[in-house]
Amino acid sequence: MAEVLDQAEVDALLAAVETGEVSEPVETLQIFSRTRTDFSGIEVRSYDFRRPERVSKDQMRAMQTLHEAFARNFGASLSGFLRTIIEVKVATCEQMTYSEFISGLPNPTSFNLLSAAPLEGRLCLEVSPLIIYPIIDRLLGGDSQELFIPQRPLTMIEQRLINKIIDRALATLKEAWSGIKQLDFQLTESESNPQLVQIVPPNEVVVVIGFELKMGNRAGTMNLCIPYAVIEPLIDLLSAQSWFNVGKLRGSTEFQDRISGQLAGATLGVTGLLAETSITLRELMQLSVGDLVVTERSANSPVVLCVEGEAKLLAHLGRFRGSRALRVLRPIGPGDRI
């Protein structure tokens, strides 16, 4: 049995330490190395082999910056779709094991499995029921003021409604990742119990980005789980140098061609303006069938072709295969009087 000191001996020992007669033992740390001889200034940190950090801090900051842009765009997309203000922001960005991620999720929840071609493997997008049911209530015309959150899996109708939200999230996620690599995010499967889904081994390292969603007086979370094995081919691109190169790419012709290709499919309204004149409100009220509206424009003068209300071209009015048509003459110049 260890010797127990009485109060007098304890006081004497404390007094000796204060006067310097007894020095406190200093623990020395031996670092073994075959090449290094000078160990001064070496920082020693503890390392947990059960939770290896396979993604560097610089790469984690890049992941957080990338998904902060996703959160802003996703919030704007949801606000337009639900006709109410939705705030989405990044709450956490950390790496952990897959078992730790699964153990922290509620049951039931909306657990969605995603593919990201051409990357191999699957990702997870989990949305909390605390925000799912207010969104469903909003889509069905409710105000979610006194909404009850049921503890049950989603029905087929509810899942179809939530899939519309997931589709918008995937489209925004594809846009956010386009600066790194063009990925095709697709929803492959949905589950209510996350414990039944095993996409990677339990001790596999995953990057979890946690989002906070607010809609009025309701709030909930959304978690994006990206296994390290899935993004390993892109992990070298998530660095400060690669982000700098992406910034230079935005000014290159390749980026301009990409934007032009996406804008080329946009639809525009085209109208032909025959003539313009001014009449009084009294004359407008007295118009009847058969009346003539006289303009100062000649019948043989070119027609102004307007694109989205802006005068762009001059054209001749005619017929083509039995239909009225406008034949483009030339663009409108700065000296043309319209």
Q: What is the pLDDT of residues 290-305, one digit of tens each?
A: 888 888 877 778 888 8
pLDDT exceeds cutoff 60 at 242: no
113 confidence band (pLDDT: 50, 70, 90): very high
Q: What is the pLDDT of residue 236?
A: 81
β-bridge partners, 122: 115
Mean pLDDT of 185-194: 91
Both 178 and 272 in one domain: the answer is no
Quote the CA–CA distance of 188 and 169 in Å, as a whole number: 14
Mean pLDDT of 208-216: 92
pLDDT exceeds cutoff 70 at 61: yes
Residue 125 sits in a domain whose CATH number is 3.40.1550.10
3-state secondary structure 4-42: CCCHHHHHHHHHHHHHCCCCCCCCCCCCCCCCCCCCCCC
Both 310 and 187 in one domain: the answer is no
Both 168 and 204 in one domain: the answer is yes
Contact 132, 242 (CB under 8 A): no
* Domain that includes residue 175, residue range: 57-244
User: Which residue did the predictor score with more confidence, 1 or 333?
Assistant: 333
State the residue for tokens 């809609």: 215
Instruction: Quote the crossing angle between the two packed helices 57-82 and 240-249, to the nearest 10°.
Output: 50
Both 112 and 238 in one domain: the answer is yes
Quote the CA–CA distance of 128 and 194 in Å, as a whole number: 12
Both 238 and 273 in one domain: the answer is no
Both 272 and 124 in one domain: the answer is no
36 lies in some domain: no
Q: What is the pLDDT of residue 123?
A: 93
> Three-class SS of residue 111?
strand
Both 138 and 188 in one domain: the answer is yes
Both 62 and 184 in one domain: the answer is yes
Cis peptide before 118 (omega within 30 of 0): yes
Q: What is the pLDDT of residue 1?
A: 44
Both 209 and 96 in one domain: the answer is yes
210 confidence band (pLDDT: 50, 70, 90): very high
Surface-to-core class of residue 272, CB atoms within 10 Å of its CB (0-12 exposed, 13-18 middle, 19+ buried): middle
pLDDT exceeds cutoff 80 at 325: yes
Both 100 and 225 in one domain: the answer is yes
Both 195 and 329 in one domain: the answer is no
Quote the CA–CA distance of 192 and 106 in Å, as a whole number: 9
Residues 6+ apart with CB under 8 A from 76: none
How many domains does the structure of the chain reveal?
2
With a pLDDT cut of 90, the percent of the chain lying above it is 28
